[in-house]
Amino acid sequence: MNDVPASNQRTRSPRSGSPVLVPILAILAGVVTVLTVAGVLIILDNLVGQPDRDRLNPVDIFLLMAGFIGGVTLAGGLLVLAAVLRSLRALENSLSRLVRHVIDDADSTGRSTANGRTMPTAQVSQPVLDEMVVFLRDLRDNSLLSDAQKVAKRDRLAKQEREALAANVESLVAKSEFHHAALLVADLEHRFGADSETRRLTREIEQVRHQTEASDVEAATRRIEDLLAISAWPRAEEIANALITRHPDSAEARRLANRIQRERHRAEEVNRQKELAEVQELTNRKQWSKVLVAARRFIEKYPDCPDSEVMRTQLETLQANAEVEERSLAEERIKALVRLGQFDEAIAIAQGMIQKYPNSPQAQALRSQLPRLQERAATAAESA
């Protein structure tokens, strides 16, 4: 027999209370009503049937009315209690389904099968369970409150939330996080409306912000100066933006951010001109391989520069010149190796050039020279 999953074992616990209690209370209410009416009628008949009484005195009437009202009140109380129990039963069933649904979801998420082996079931974290318990307890308590009590509880919770948000605002102000503090005040006004408290918090934010502006700007300026000295532009911009966020109306903060932009642009322009001059110098020396590398690097670094657009149109020519230069250098290298008697290395370079540039003039010349080089290499090996 298959074992019952742990989640099912938890959700199949006995229910609290008896389902037959509600109809029993209703029956008792009916019985009390019938007995009350019957009792009043019987007593009334007995009193009227007495020969020495031709009418009921006020005491008899009071006792009859008291008994009748007491019986009806008892029957009504039983009916109200039955209705309350019925509502609590429906609420309990709904909450049981909710808990069972949550646990089943956790089981289905955590249980998986790999290579025929069942993996362990994921456990619901304790914070989630604690939050569920609090939610269910509040739901239960609220169901038992009257309308006036619900209004009072709502007002009390709203007051506590306002006080907590106000405390958070003051904490953020103490940390100089004025932007976040202002957002919290805006949230307070949106949810609860503007009042003297929100106006007080707004004044406090602006007052403390004004008091700390000079020191914040001074500290940020010192840090940015150090970062500009090492060209750490992104970090300098980050500090300037944070300063503007704390003091959005500060002209000094804006000027500091603009200064970073100007110096960064100036430094980038100096570097661009330096790299452009390097490309030009290599071109004048006809070092085409280095020119090609430098031109590609320049285009990648400054893609929107007009000089980059000019270089893009020349890349094909630069590539061809670099290939010619490479073949010429290889040809000179082969000649030098032959003079030194290093035929094997010369043959390897010749074969590499033929494979890389098969249609070039150098390749054609090397194909005709290759057999002679191989003969000389063989002769050198025999004599050795």
Q: Give me the pLDDT at residue 216, please.
A: 86
Contact 365, 330 (CB under 8 A): no
Q: Which two tokens stand for residue 354?
A: 């033929």
For residue 116, the 8-state DSSP code is T
Contact 253, 243 (CB under 8 A): yes
Q: Give me the pLDDT at residue 102, please.
A: 59
CA distance 314 to 304: 16
Q: Give me the pLDDT at residue 122, please.
A: 46
Q: What's the burial of 299, exposed, middle or buried (CB within 10 Å: 0-12/13-18/19+)?
A: middle
Q: Give me the pLDDT at residue 47, please.
A: 66
Span 57-93, pLDDT tens digits = 677 677 777 777 887 888 788 778 777 777 777 776 7
> Both ends of the chain: CA-CA distance in Å?
88
Q: Specify the amino acid at residue 291.
A: V
pTM of the model: 0.44
Span 116-142, pLDDT tens digits = 454 444 455 667 667 777 777 777 667
What residue ranges do the domains of the chain occupy? 6-108+131-144, 153-251, 286-383
Q: How many CB atoms lie within 10 A of CB 65?
A: 11
CA distance 187 to 194: 10
Vertex 88, ends 83 and 93: CA angle to 5°?
130
Q: Give me the pLDDT at residue 266, please.
A: 92
Span 266-285, pLDDT tens digits = 998 998 999 999 999 999 99
With a cut of 50, list the residues of the chain below it in pLDDT: 1-18, 112-116, 118-122
CA distance 128 to 134: 10
